[in-house]
C-alpha cells in the first residue's frame, strides 16, 4: 500500500511548510512504516520545498550531529564511545532518505534508551547524602565546551557536580529566605477568636531552621525536580516520538523554518491555529507529579457529566475501549494530548481519584471547545473623537474547514463594524 501524505501548510514567503502523515495500514510493521515515512519526507523536501538543499553526505553529517545534540544537548546521557560509534552513519542518512535500509535511527535511539535508563539511577544515590560545600569545585555549564564522559564513573561524576550545583542554588535560596524572615513576629489567629476575619488566612508561621535541615530540604527539592525530569524523558522515550524527532531534524536541516509533525502534533498545530479543539472542557494542572482538574468549562462534556470536580486526580486515560494509559508523572501537555481527539463524539475514558479516595471510571464524549480568547475583537471608545480598537491576540486559520475562522476575515468584519 502506498503511503499517503499531504502538506498541511505552505508558506512560501518564509520558505516553510509543515506536513503530517496518515497512519500506515495494519499490515505495515513499524520498521517498514518508518522507512516509507522517511522516504516520503525526503520526496517532499526535495520536490516540494521552496528552496531545497541537496540531500547528500554533507546533509547526512549535519542531521546526525543535530539528532545527537537533540537527544543529549548537555552531554550527560551518552558516553564518548557511543558518539564515536554513531560516526559510521555520518554519510549514510542521505542514502536512507533515498530508499536504503534504515539503520542509523534504530542504532542511535536504542543506545539512547539504554543510557537514559542508566543515567536515571544516578541521582537517587547521589542525593541520599549531604554535599560538602566547603570543597571548591568547578562546573562547566556551556554545552559547547562540554565533553562526553569516557565511562560510567566519569558520567556519574558529571551528574554529581550538576546535582550539587542545583542543591547549592536551592540551599542558598533557603538561607536568604531564612535571613529575610528571621526577625518577623509570629501572629496566631485561632478559630475561637471572634474578632478574626474568617475570610483572611492567618499568616504562615516562620520557623527558624538550622543549616543541615535546609540542606536536606534542598536535596529533597532537587530529588523531586530531577525525578520529574527523568519521568518526562522516559514518557517521551518511545520509538514513535524519537522517530518524529529524527524526522524533524531532517526537516529543520533543510531550513530552520521547516518542521515535521507526527499526526498528534499536527492535530495540536491545527488546534492552535484554528482556535478550537475537540475535548472534554477541563483545564488541567500538575501537582507533585499528579494530573489534576484545575477548572471545568461551563457547558463542556466534563461539566455536563456532573461527575467531575476541581482537584479530582486523573490516574489513567483511555481512548474508547482501548487500553488505559497511566498518566502519573506526565506533564500537563502530554496528558492533554491523550484527552483531546480529532473529532466530536469520540469517546475518552478517564480513571479519576476523588478527594475522598474513591476511584471512578468516567466515560465522556468529546465536543468542540472554542478558545474565545484567540479570536479578533473590537471596541469603539467614545470621547472627543471616536477611536476604534481591534485586538488580535494571535494569528489563526482553520485549515480543515473552508468556512472556518480566519483572522484576516475576522479583522475585516471588525473594521466594517
Q: Are residues 206 and 224 in the same domain?
A: yes
Give a yes or no: residue 21 inside a domain: no
CATH number at residue 283: 2.30.42.10
Give a yes or no: residue 283 inside a domain: yes
- What is the SS3 assignment for 86-122? HHHHCCCHHHHHCCCCCCHHHHHHHHHHHHHHHHCCH
Q: Are residues 117 and 217 in the same domain?
A: yes
Q: Are residues 331 and 183 in the same domain?
A: no
d(C-alpha 90, C-alpha 106), whole Å = 14
Q: Are residues 106 and 209 in the same domain?
A: yes
Q: What percent of the chain has pLDDT over 70?
A: 87
Q: Are residues 94 and 151 in the same domain?
A: yes
Question: How many domains does the structure of the chain reveal?
Answer: 3
Q: Are residues 111 and 194 in the same domain?
A: yes
Give a yes or no: residue 5 inside a domain: no
Query: Is pLDDT of 93 > 50?
Result: yes
Give a yes or no: residue 146 inside a domain: yes
Q: Are residues 218 and 353 in the same domain?
A: no
- Reported as a single tens digit per residue, the pLDDT across 330-359 is 888 889 989 998 889 999 999 999 988 899
pLDDT of residue 161: 96
Give a yes or no: residue 69 inside a domain: yes
Q: Are residues 358 and 388 in the same domain?
A: no
d(C-alpha 256, C-alpha 238), whole Å = 25
Query: Is pLDDT of 4 > 50?
Result: no
Q: Are residues 85 and 187 in the same domain?
A: yes
Domain that holds residue 400: 373-416
Give a yes or no: residue 259 inside a domain: no
Give a yes or no: residue 311 inside a domain: yes
206-210: list long-range contacts, CB under 8 Å, 24+ apart. Answer: 206/181, 206/182, 208/178, 208/182, 209/174, 209/178
Q: Are residues 328 and 391 in the same domain?
A: no
Give a yes or no: residue 37 inside a domain: no
Query: Is pLDDT of 37 > 50?
Result: yes
Q: What is the DSSP letter of 406?
A: B
pTM of the model: 0.69
Q: Are residues 231 and 103 in the same domain?
A: yes
Q: Are residues 285 and 184 in the same domain?
A: no
Amino acid at each position: 500500500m502506498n503511503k499517503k501524505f499531504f502538506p498541511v501548510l505552505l508558506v512560501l514567503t518564509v520558505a516553510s511548510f509543515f506536513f503530517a502523515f496518515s497512519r500506515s495500514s495494519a499490515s505495515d510493521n513499524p520498521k517498514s512504516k518508518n522507512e516509507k515515512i522517511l522516504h516520503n519526507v525526503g520526496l517532499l523536501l526535495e520536490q516540494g520545498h521552496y528552496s531545497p538543499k541537496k540531500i547528500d553526505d554533507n546533509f547526512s553529517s549535519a542531521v546526525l550531529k543535530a539528532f545527537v545534540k537533540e537527544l543529549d544537548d548537555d552531554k550527560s546521557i551518552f558516553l564518548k564511545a557511543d558518539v564515536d560509534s554513531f560516526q559510521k552513519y555520518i554519510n549514510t542518512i542521505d542514502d536512507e532518505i533515498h530508499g536504503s535500509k534504515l539503520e542509523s535511527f534504530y542504532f542511535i535511539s536504542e543506545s539512547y534508551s539504554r543510557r537514559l535508563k542508566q543515567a536515571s539511577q544516578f541521582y537517587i544515590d547521589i542525593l541520599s547524602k549531604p554535599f560538602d560545600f566547603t570543597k571548591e569545585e568547578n562546573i562547566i555549564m556551556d554545552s559547547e565546551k562540554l565533553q562526553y564522559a569516557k565511562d560510567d564513573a566519569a558520567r556519574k561524576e558529571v551528574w554529581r557536580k550538576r546535582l550539587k550545583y542545583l542543591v547549592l542554588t536551592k540551599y542558598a535560596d533557603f538561607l536568604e529566605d531564612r535571613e529575610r524572615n528571621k526577625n518577623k513576629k509570629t501572629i496566631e489567629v485561632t478559630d475561637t477568636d471572634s474578632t478574626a476575619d474568617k475570610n483572611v488566612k492567618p499568616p504562615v508561621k516562620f520557623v527558624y531552621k538550622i543549616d543541615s535541615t535546609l540542606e536536606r530540604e534542598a536535596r529533597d527539592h532537587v530529588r523531586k525536580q530531577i525525578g520529574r525530569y527523568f519521568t518526562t524523558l522516559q514518557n517521551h522515550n518511545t520509538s514513535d516520538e524519537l522517530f518524529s524527532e529524527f524526522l524533524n531534524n531532517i526537516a529543520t536541516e533543510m531550513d530552520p523554518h521547516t518542521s515535521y509533525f507526527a499526526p498528534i502534533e499536527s492535530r495540536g498545530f491545527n488546534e492552535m491555529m484554528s482556535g478550537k479543539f475537540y475535548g472534554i472542557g477541563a483545564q488541567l494542572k500538575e501537582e507533585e507529579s499528579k494530573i489534576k482538574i484545575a477548572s471545568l468549562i461551563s457547558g463542556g462534556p466534563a461539566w455536563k457529566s456532573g461527575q467531575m470536580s476541581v482537584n479530582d486526580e486523573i490516574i489513567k486515560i483511555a481512548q474508547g475501549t482501548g487500553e488505559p494509559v497511566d498518566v502519573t508523572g506526565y506533564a500537563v501537555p502530554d496528558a492533554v494530548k491523550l484527552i483531546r481527539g480529532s473529532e466530536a463524539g469520540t469517546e475518552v475514558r478517564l480513571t479519576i481519584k476523588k478527594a475522598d479516595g474513591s476511584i471512578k471510571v468516567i466515560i465522556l464524549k468529546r465536543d468542540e471547545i472554542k478558545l474565545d480568547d484567540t479570536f479578533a475583537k473590537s471596541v469603539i471608545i467614545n470621547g472627543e473623537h471616536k477611536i476604534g480598537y481591534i485586538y488580535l491576540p494571535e494569528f489563526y486559520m482553520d485549515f480543515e474547514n473552508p468556512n472556518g475562522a480566519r483572522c484576516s476575515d475576522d479583522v475585516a468584519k471588525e473594521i466594517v463594524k
